[in-house]
């Protein structure tokens, strides 16, 4: 398995690789870039051989060519029954190297498109890179139906990729994310949470508009933001909200399920996703998600069942719905009582994992 950064093995594939080694007769080799600490954590999981190739996420012709040569040499001297690559840089270089070396079964997992908002030549270039991956792979798995549709809209053939089940690459840990503790809690305070990276692409500007609009009408509604700041826009918006005393901020939480226990609404105004797994985690905790109608998110939020979908950029509509919900908290929670069951029926983690590995190892 080839992935751009070891942190993706440690976060996106948390528990998944252990499940693979425990339930299937495999010898696993993991190839990734990333920091020393993330590699040490990956090695410490004792899953098999770990190989470091210093991928960089941003394009760098000379550096990427060096990594490609290293991958070709690696695949030339190591033969595998199955090669699986995911995340953009690893997909492109992994597909080329494994094809050149004649690895017999090559598969890609498409987790999203970082260029979703691009246009013109830059967008066409990245689409061309994806086309190379698709043509050099025996199968391509998109982690959501809307992600697959976005490729079709760009001229790709439907048979270029498949979606397994209802999508998602990791499902949700239903034993960890549960509504039981939340149901025991009672509070008159209405709390809205934002969980994830704080940057422009994740909708920090829209979040700021929602917070300011809601607090102007009802100062008692509380907002909690959890996540690392990743760009100047995120830092500017967060600093302004904190300076005005409008939000509580926590950079990192290990037990994120405990945060959901305190929330009445999960606010998820990202501009793009491959699949919005955090919305599944909220649903499993019976917390509704308010989100924009964008690629990847529309698959993880079932409107009227696990939350509501709003037109992209409709911050005022989101704010108005939060205000209405805060005025009728009991009936609002009752409206989404089927959220957890939807997550259970479609995204139980072990079922999602088995679906992927049965497909790749068949």
CA 117 from chain centre, in angstroms, equals 17
Q: Under 8 Å CB-to-CB from 225, ≥6 apart: which residues?
A: 193, 194, 198, 207, 238, 241, 247, 248, 249, 250
Residue 31, beta-bridge partner list: 2, 51
> 4 and 90 in contact (C-beta within 8 Å)?
yes
Query: Going along 13-146, which residue ranges are E strands?
Result: 28-33, 48-52, 83-86, 106-110, 139-142
What parts of the chain have a pLDDT lower than 50?
184
Predicted pLDDT at 182:
60
pLDDT confidence of residue 55: 95
**Per-residue confidence (pLDDT) for residue 14, from 0 to 100:** 85
Starting at the edge strand found earlier in the chain, the sheet holding 289-292 runs 248-250, 222-226, 191-195, 265-268, 289-292, 307-310
Distance from C-alpha of 197 to C-alpha of 174, rounded to nearest angstrom:
23
pLDDT at 57: 86
Residue closest to 214 by CA, chosen among 239, 250, 247 = 247
For residue 122, the model assigns a pLDDT of 92
Mapping DSSP to helix (H, G, I), strand (E, B) and coil, where does residue 103 land? coil
Show the domains of the chain with their CATH numbers: 2-163 (3.40.50.2000), 180-347 (3.40.50.2000)
DSSP for 178-232, written as a single string: -SHHHHH---S--EEEEES-BSTTTTHHHHHHHHHHHHHH-TT-EEEEES-B-SH
Contacting residues for 217 by C-beta, under 8 A, at least 6 apart: 319, 323
Whole-structure pTM value: 0.89
What end-to-end distance do the CA atoms of the chain give, in Å? Answer: 16
Q: Secondary structure of the chain: what % helix, strand, coil (to 5)?
A: 45, 15, 35
Could you identify the residue written with the tokens 């967060």? 238
pLDDT given for residue 5 in this prediction: 95
pLDDT of residue 187: 67
Cβ atoms of residues 227 and 193 within 8 Å: no
Position 186 scores a pLDDT of 57
Count the helices and strands in the chain (H runs, E runs).
Answer: 16, 12
Q: What is the per-residue pLDDT for 330? A: 84
Among the listed residues 313, 334, 315, the one whose alpha carbon sits nearest the alpha carbon of residue 325: 334
Dihedral angle, C-alpha 233, 236, 239, 240, nearest 10 °? -110
């Amino acid at each position: 398995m080839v992935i751009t950064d070891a942190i993706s093995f440690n976060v996106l594939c948390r528990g998944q690789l252990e499940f693979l080694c425990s339930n299937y007769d495999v010898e696993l080799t993991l190839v990734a870039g990333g920091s020393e600490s993330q590699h040490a954590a990956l090695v410490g999981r004792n899953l098999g051989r770990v190989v470091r190739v210093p991928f960089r996420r941003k394009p760098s012709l000379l550096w990427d060519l060096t990594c490609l040569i290293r991958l070709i040499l690696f695949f030339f001297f190591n033969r595998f029954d199955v090669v699986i690559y995911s995340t953009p840089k690893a997909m492109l270089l992994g597909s080329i190297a494994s094809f050149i070396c004649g690895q017999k079964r090559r598969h890609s997992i498409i987790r999203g498109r970082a260029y979703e908002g691009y246009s013109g030549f830059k967008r066409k270039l990245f689409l061309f890179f994806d086309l190379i991956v698709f043509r050099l792979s025996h199968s391509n798995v998109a982690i959501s139906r809307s992600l697959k549709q976005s490729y079709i809209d760009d001229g790709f053939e439907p048979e270029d990729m498949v979606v397994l089940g209802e999508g998602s690459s990791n499902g949700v840990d239903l034993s960890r994310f549960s509504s039981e503790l939340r149901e025991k809690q009672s509070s008159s305070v209405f709390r809205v949470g934002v969980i994830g990276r704080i940057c422009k692409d994740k909708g920090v500007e829209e979040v700021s508009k929602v917070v300011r609009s809601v607090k102007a009408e009802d100062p008692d509604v509380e907002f909690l933001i959890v996540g690392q700041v990743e760009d100047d826009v995120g830092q500017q918006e967060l600093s302004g909200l904190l300076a005005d005393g409008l939000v509580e901020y926590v950079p990192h939480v290990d037990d994120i399920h405990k945060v959901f226990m305190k929330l009445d609404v999960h606010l998820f105004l990202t501009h793009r996703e491959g699949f919005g797994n955090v919305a599944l985690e909220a649903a499993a905790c019976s917390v509704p998600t308010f989100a924009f109608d964008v690629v990847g998110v529309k698959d993880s939020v079932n409107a009227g069942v696990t939350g509501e979908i709003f037109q992209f950029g409709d911050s005022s509509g989101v704010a108005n719905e939060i205000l209405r919900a805060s005025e009728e908290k009991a009936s609002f929670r009752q409206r989404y009582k089927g959220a957890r069951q939807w997550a259970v029926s479609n995204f139980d983690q072990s079922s999602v994992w088995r679906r992927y590995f049965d497909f790749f190892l068949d």
